[in-house]
Structure 1
Amino acid sequence: MRRSFARRAAVLGSAAALLIGPAALVAQADPAPVQTTDLPAELVEALDRDLQISPERFLQDAARSQDLAQFAEKAREQFAAVFAGVWLDDHGTPTVGLAEGEQFDEARTSAEDAGFAVQRTEDSEHALNDELKALNDWLETQPPAVADVVRGVAIDVINNDVIVRAENVAGLELPEFLAGVRVLFAPTDLTPQPAADLHPVAGTAAPDALLGGDAYASLGQGTGLRCSLGFNAEDRRGPVNITAGHCDPNRAQAGTQWASDVYQLNGEALGQHLGKFEKTSLDDSDYAIIRPTGEAEGRFENNGVRVPGAAPLPITGTADPIVGTPVCKSGLRTGYSCGLVTATSQNVEIGQRVLQNGFSTNLCALQGDSGGTLVTGTLAMGISSASNVGQYGLCEIATIVSGLLGESPELFATPINSILAENPGLTIRTG
């Protein structure tokens, strides 16, 4: 039985050159106005270094992207015959793609009245979905030597066409009716850092707060891993942290007494026992929920994200990924780095698993960044899951090597709103 990647339309866009105290628990409430002074200096430096944009532009584009997300949700139904997707262009202009058709004028008026630019496209999203289906139907008929090379299919919203992600680009020959489909390399696992030298130390405690991006170690089934904390959250039972599912070395026992243990990581040394993995998901969605111990839960009662040891960024809500949106990640290996959302709603095979409804960015992430946070403005967007350069020791090296191969660094992530939707009662801590 062959893989089926076209269960959802995927959207791929081109990249441009590119304190916290106890927090209120608010799910999609209107946040208080955000000031540029809310952004820590390390994040402002990353925005200037990586994207050459100001803090004001970062916050403005984050807000514009969510206006587009709301418009797209309605337009996808109301103007299905002509709607071709939404994105932010290189200048941060919120843009709606529309194909020719009977609904074009009505859709254009609606988009322009909402303050968006309109770009004419050759095909609607519906037409591109049909092309995706044709591609997937063809893959179902292929022998393993061909079908197993393909790791995902997607729609490129900015270029208004279809792409294929393949393990071996040179080894894939598409049929004539798919001659216009572009082929890109597939991602690989963003693996946690293995750690055979980690051992619990009895009686070690640290009362300070733990934030998204801070380091932790997971121990289970004789294996130790180094990862990054994700967003602090809350459910009906109290504080939790949302991180990556592949950071759990004993996934089958999550939620039981044999679940993997989580410890604070202080350099190469283990600190306080923080809790256990209560729920772990790896197929379809890559995320895990860490349940703190009674002694440690107060350390998770904040709404912060940071580079380890630096000033925090207060999280004020959640965001849906929109192509072209500026996004910054934090993690224990590479700290803050900023780029753009390049793809949304992707189904892509990563190793032996399929990440469904994920999104990708043109960010570099390395081993140890797994599970860390991706934000736009002060909004939580996703959890770091996979990278095409995770095996390199430095992002500078990764950028050079991938460039020689005709590629660029990519980080794939699980949308935070998808995780919340799968877990009723779970909310991100905001303030």
Structure 2
Amino acid sequence: MTEQKRKAEKLSGVKGMNDILPQDAHLWEFFESTVKSMLRSYGYQNIRTPIVEHTQLFTRGIGEVTDIVEKEMYSFTDALNGENLTLRPENTAAVVRASIEHNLLYDGPKRLWYVGPMFRHERPQRGRYRQFHQVGVEALGFAGPDADAEIILMCQRLWDDLGLTGIKLEINSLGLAEERAAHRVELIAYLEKHVDALDEDAKRRLYTNPLRVLDTKNPALQEIAANAPKLIDFLRDESRAHFDGLQRILKANNIPFTINPRLVRGLDYYNLTVFEWITDKLGAQGTVAAGGRYDPLIEQLGGKPTAACGWAMGVERILELLKDENLVPEADGCDVYVVHQGDAARDHAFIVAERLRDTGLDVILHCSADGQSASFKSQMKRADASGAAFAVILGDDEVAQGVAGVKPLRGVAADARNEQQAVALGDLTEYLINAMVASAEDGDD
């Protein structure tokens, strides 16, 4: 391939790592704004961790025999210093690492939240990508079922705030380590009796992570999984009391739920409460949010023994639901589009636009696409397409007279679209603000 051809070759994005284009960005912004408002109402603070961490963080925190570590992580060796690094496949381990490293729990429990991209090498499909985005919360230092209940209630409030319906809650308890160990012995013995019927994935997990066999999506294994020993039957008094306490709070707050004894987590650090919010509107990728309690993790990563729980939700999946239910808000247009023609008008248009922005208005100033001055007609088409509520029109004559033309473009004011008003430049800001307030009030009526 010649150098000229190489330069001309069209480049495309990495499969499963998608661009978020301007026409879609307003939906992301709407979701993020709604989430942030909900999280503030519960007293959660934002934490931001790097997208690259030491690989050891995830092999220790997630578990070496999980699908994520075995098959899905983007790991590499740093060419400069030989460090083994990984693009984060999830963020709980990273938040715990940061909390330990910076002594965040020194002065008591913390309620933290994050948002950002995660990376897993899996087959791209609807709602599942190689670079995907998650919002998550981590409640560190809270041991009781009340913390578990609170983070579940947060999810329900978010569905309500977004207007989403049909998302159902499933809960289970994984108990404590000794209870899981007793269950594991009986589960392996049971699965060994059916080994000839297990698929390759189940056989691989049989002795390394047998709980995950219960979560199989293979229709041929559903009966085997359904009849397997249930971990919930191995719970002792302490674990049962925790699980019962969670259920009481959920019932008191009218949160419907189903106990799913086959609900497990794919990560090694979970104990006691686990839960998922699921929907039947996304095909096979029906889990919208998932989480639970992970008391062992902080000590496992080098901190002092500390209780913790949290959840993560896939942003792309929730946006798919918003689209399916026609809950996508209209993109906001700007307030004012400034059109101009003539050298004096162009220079003064910058001054006018900056003065309007000083008052908090959103302003687009027309700039030429080809270096040539566009006609007023062409500029007005762009003004209308921008979604602006008003066009401010400046020509050299208007500047000489100390006025600007103001023309309503949409909304209630659109009834008077052809009624362009001449407004003194000194009064322009006040005129526009009053007109926008009046238009908004008429719209409310």
* TM superposition score category, shorter chain reference: under 0.3
Give the TM-score, by structure 1 length: 0.22
1 or 2, which has the higher helix percentage?
2
1 or 2, which has the higher strand percentage?
1
Query: Higher relative contact order at CA 8 Å, sep ≥6: structure 1 or structure 2?
Result: 1
Give the TM-score, by structure 2 length: 0.22
